[in-house]
Amino acid sequence: MKRLIISDIHIGSRYYKADQVKALLQTIEYDQLILNGDILDLIKVPIFTDRALSLLKAIDPSKEIIYVVGNHDISFKGFVGNSIGPVKFVNSYEFEEKNRTFRVQHGDIYDKGWIKDSFWIKLLSLVQNSIENYFNIDLTSWYVSRKIKKRKLKRIWDLLDANSDVDVIILGHTHIPEAVIWVNEREEIKTYINCGDWVSHTSYVLIDDGVARLKEWKQSRN
């Protein structure tokens, strides 16, 4: 089975790359599409513009679609455990392929402190949207470059430790496309992959025959 995983498109934000995502969905062959959170930015408006609807129509409804709910599309939490048409909503998605266990999560569950609270998430997102529109800047990219990268190694170590029961952990949320392979003390090979985003990057994960690869979409690709 070929699985395509994308996260953090943030449809509704000012900077999401609709044309590139649409091209990816119309070009890459896949059997299962995993939308790994923050696909729709339900806090920011307008969301369902012609541009956004055109992108959503590029999703093939005949394929199996897994929607891992993130913190910016937190309104979908009520759908978790249920399906709407071909879309199954989950908090976490696990599967086994070629004797390897995979776990896909958005990643916001690893946030610490008050930022995990849904009220503060909504408030911060509204403030962020106002600042971005007024000053024409991408605050998410600024925050990632200034804050998250500084504690990168400890963050990855903590993620691998928290998911030691699986072989591959795939997240989104941080907007940083990255892949790390680790051999633990039992000589087990562990892998951490972050899908990145479609705001500052055009990255995605493709799992084919049990092998997960982090890739960057190039518009010129045929």
Q: What distance in Å separates the CA atoms of residue 87 and residue 59, rounded to the nearest whole number?
A: 11
| End-to-end alpha carbon distance in the chain | 22
Residue 150 buriedness (CB in 10 A; 0-12 / 13-18 / 19+):
exposed
Residue 104 lies in a domain: yes
Tell me the pLDDT tens digit for each residue of 98-152: 999 999 999 988 876 545 555 556 666 666 666 666 666 665 665 555 555 445 5
120: tokens are 């503060």
Q: In degrees, to the nearest 5, what angle opens at C-alpha 194 toward C-alphas 199 and 189?
A: 165
Share of the chain above pLDDT 90, in %: 45
CB of 170 closer than 8 Å to CB of 93? no
Q: What distance in Å separates the CA atoms of residue 7 and residue 140, rounded to the nearest whole number?
A: 14
CATH of the domain at 62: 3.60.21.10
Residue 67 lies in a domain: yes
Tell me the pLDDT tens digit for each residue of 196-211: 999 989 999 999 999 9
53: tokens are 């609807």
Quote the pLDDT of residue 96: 96
In the chain, the largest separation of any two C-alpha atoms, in whole Å, equals 52
Question: CB pairs under 8 A, 24+ apart, for 27-31?
Answer: 27/221, 28/4, 28/204, 28/206, 29/2, 30/2, 30/3, 30/4, 30/63, 30/206, 31/1, 31/2, 31/3, 31/63, 31/64
CB of 4 closer than 8 Å to CB of 30? yes
Quote the pLDDT of residue 222: 42
Taking all residues of the chain, what is their mean pLDDT, rounded to a whole number?
Answer: 82
- Give me the mean pLDDT over the 61-76 stretch: 89
pTM: 0.82
**What is the number of structural domains in the chain?**
1
Q: What distance in Å separates the CA atoms of residue 8 and residue 38, rounded to the nearest whole number?
A: 5
* φ and ψ at residue 40, rounded to 5 degrees: -100, 135
Q: What distance in Å separates the CA atoms of residue 111 and residue 90, rounded to the nearest whole number?
A: 19
Q: What distance in Å separates the CA atoms of residue 54 and residue 75, rounded to the nearest whole number?
A: 22
HEC-encoded secondary structure of 45-58 = CCCCCHHHHHHHHC
SS3 13: strand
pLDDT band, residue 40 (cuts 50/70/90): confident
Quote the pLDDT of residue 43: 59
Range of the domain at 66: 2-216
Residue 222 lies in a domain: no
Instruction: Please check the confidence at residue 160 and state whether its pLDDT lies above 70.
Output: yes
